[in-house]
Structures are given as C-alpha cells and as structure tokens.
Amino acid sequence: MGTNKPYKHHIPFPSGPFATGCIELMTEYSAEGCFARIFYPTDISSNKLNEYSDKWIPWIPDETYLKGFAECLRIPFCIFKYGPSIIRLKPYYIPTIFEAQPSKTLKSFPIFIFSHGFGATRFVNSEYCNSLASHGFFVVAIEHRDTSSPATFYYDSPESAKNDNRTWVNHVQFHKIIGPDHYYQRNKQLKYRFKEMKKIIDTIFKINSGEVVDNVFNPNFDLLQFKNKLDVDNIVGSGFSFGGATAMYTAANDKRIKSLVIVDGWMFSLKSEPNLSIEQSILFINTHTFHLESNIAIIKKYMASNSFRQLYTLKNTTHESPTDTAYIWGHWLDLFMIKKMNSETALRLQSSLTLRYLNDRMNYPENVDGLQIYIKEHSDKIVSDTIKYSKRVKRKMGIWFW
C-alpha cells in the first residue's frame, strides 16, 4: 500500500470504513479504580492502516499476561511462550493507531462496553472491539480485577505510575474454586464485576461532560477530545462468556444500558439469581460446542421474556472462536470433535451479526449493506437457535476464557 515499513503480523483488519484509535484508561491509584482499553473511530480511512503500522499496539502488552495464561492452562510457561512461534510467527499486533485523534466528522459515538471472560483480558477480544469501533462506536474493553483475569495490575501511587512500578492482581485458578462454594465464589465475582462496570459508565459520563478525569496510565492523551462526543443515551452492554453474565447483571441493575450483546455467555453465576428484570433488547451469539443444557436453559429463559431478543449459533465453532486466540494460535478446544470454521470468518460473522442487530435497534451504523451481504453469503454457517452438542466431553484444560 505504498509503504516501505516492515511487515508486522497482526490480527485481522477491522471491517469498517474508519481506522481506529486506541488508548488505555486507568483511574485512581488503587485496585478500586477503572482499567480499560478504549477503541474509537478516527477520520483516517481504514484502508490506510498500514501507513500507521509503527503506531500499532502489541497484542500481548506485557509478558506477565503470558505467564498468567500458562497458569490458567496449567502448562509450562516456556511451552506456552515459544510453542506458538513454531505454528504462527510472532509477535502479533492490533491494527489500531495508538493515541490517534478521534473523528471530528462523526457527530457522536454510540458506546459499547465489553466485559471479558474468565481467564481473559481487555485484549483477548480485540478484533471484535476494534471492528465495532471502525464502524463508529466508542468501545470500552474493561479489564476486571476480580481475580478472573490471568493477570492485571494497578499503580498504588503517582510515583509508581511514573516509574511503571505495577502492583499485579493475581489470577485465582478455576479448578481451585470448583466445589461446594463454586457458585458462591462466581456470584461474588459477578457482583465485583458489576461494580466495575457501573464505575466505568460513571467515568464515561464524566468524560462526555468535560469533567477532568485523571488517566494515570495514559496521561498525555487529552480526554477532553471526547467532550460532548459520546452518545450516553445509546450504551450497549456486552461481554464474552463470564462477561456475558456480567453484562446481563449490569443491565438489570443499571438502566443506562439500552441494549445487550451476549457472546457465548457462560450463565453459571446467574443460576440462583431471581429472574433478572432485563427490559433491554438482547442479542445472543453462541458457539457450536460450548453450551450445556443448564446454560441453554438460562439463555432461553431470557429469550422468552421479551420480543426484542435474537439468538444465533455459529456452526463448527468452539469457545475460543469469538476471541483472537483461534486466529493467532489455532483451535485447541474440542480439537478432534468437529471440523472448525475458519477463525477469521467466525470473527467477521460475529461482528457483522452484532452491527446488523445494532442497526436495527438504534439505527447505527446507518449503512449495513455490506454486512448483510456477508451474512447472506455465509448463511449456511448460522443457525437461528441453540445447538445441543451431543459429542461434548469433559476436559481438564478447557477452562480458559469462561
């Protein structure tokens, strides 16, 4: 594309017309503050992203996350660190422009708040978040500090932030909580995540009103560029796996969220909650092999309670298909069960179904013709219902990203 810059391996380019910008947001000098990665549209055309490859950000921002992933999977760190390079050359980057100027052409950005799964992070679903931002959304990918992330951190003082001296929040492994107290612990984490979601929404309102928000991680970026640009009347709550349950619980208790998009939701933490009062519309996007009957029962309960609900299952997908990992490392869940859908196709269908749904609910983005064509071309890969996967087997390591 007319550039002599060295090639960088990257996750798929976003599907929308706008190249995206990206910043990190961290508030307060404690674990009680907010931590999120924000993607937003710029006035740069997406077909010029290669010209800005020197400003792309690495998919793995710190090796501590790799160590955390290895602990989640319970495999030696050296295998996890160097093994993927045999399969796919590393490192990988996210094709987004760090600290780019937000679009001035667009009058406002609808808000999309994304909650990650168990054993995941703010960057595991970067293709999804980046693509939505490329269609005009202000996408906030929160990183939870409830010990579900393989690793996360905060700064405990201005001096620590200046010297990048991080206080790490350690992951509590899945298998250590399974037992009589499993539901109690997961529900407790759900409530902690809800507080973080509510706080990030409060912070977004402050940014939009022009109130000073100290960003201790990215202090040089002027958040006032977003003043009166964020459409706080159109907030979409979303999440993957455990994050799906998080988004639903948040929507039931914070009506500032107007719509929900639940990606392969893991509903265990909601199983003993009373029927949540979720008045908002919901889109469920499921994978082929993940859902147990108990999980499907909870999803169908909320499907039946409101006419503004849609559900799709993508055939030949597994629980890692909605994340970037299948693209970077290849599939590892249900390895010999089914022939897997191409990872990039699965990601593109996921974002296309989401954007078509949001166009229907909020008339944004305005033009979804290209997305409609893509969905129609791959209609044989989509089921408008749940799939009970009879070949499902118990797995010892299939715990990452719940």
Q: What is the pLDDT of residues 368-388, one digit of tens each?
A: 999 999 999 999 999 998 887
Q: Is the pLDDT of residue 190 over 80?
A: yes
40: Cβ contacts below 8 Å, ≥ 6 apart:
20, 21, 22, 102, 103, 109, 133, 137, 138, 139, 226
Per-residue model confidence (pLDDT) at position 321: 96
- The mean predicted confidence, pLDDT, of the chain is 90
- 17 vs 14: CA distance, rounded Å: 8
397: Cβ contacts below 8 Å, ≥ 6 apart:
73, 74, 75
- 344 vs 327: CA distance, rounded Å: 7
Residue with tokens 């029962």: 297
Express as a percent the part of the chain with pLDDT over 90: 76
User: How do residues 99-134 score in pLDDT, each as one tens digit?
Assistant: 999 999 999 999 999 999 999 999 999 999 999 999
Surface-to-core class of residue 382, CB atoms within 10 Å of its CB (0-12 exposed, 13-18 middle, 19+ buried): middle
CB 42 within 8 A of CB 14: no
Per-residue model confidence (pLDDT) at position 397: 40
Per-residue model confidence (pLDDT) at position 5: 75
Per-residue model confidence (pLDDT) at position 176: 61
pLDDT band per the 50, 70, 90 thresholds, residue 188:
very high
Q: Is the pLDDT of residue 292 over 60?
A: yes
Per-residue model confidence (pLDDT) at position 79: 66
The DSSP bridge pattern shows strands 309-314 and 382-383 to be antiparallel
Half-sphere exposure of residue 265: CA atoms within 13 angstroms, side-chain side: 34
Three-class SS state of 293: helix
User: How do residues 253-288 score in pLDDT, each as one tens digit?
Assistant: 999 999 999 999 999 999 888 879 999 999 999 999
User: How do residues 134-187 score in pLDDT, each as one tens digit?
Assistant: 999 999 999 999 999 999 999 999 999 999 999 999 888 766 666 678 888 999
Q: Is the pLDDT of residue 398 over 50?
A: no
pLDDT band per the 50, 70, 90 thresholds, residue 394:
very low
CATH superfamily of 18-383: Alpha/Beta hydrolase fold, catalytic domain (3.40.50.1820)
Tokens of 250: 């948040």
Give the pLDDT mean for 23-39. 97
pLDDT band per the 50, 70, 90 thresholds, residue 82:
low
Three-class SS state of 165: coil
Number of H helices, E strands in the chain: 10, 14
Per-residue model confidence (pLDDT) at position 92: 92
Q: What is the DSSP string of 261-285?
A: EEES---GGGTTS------SEEEEE
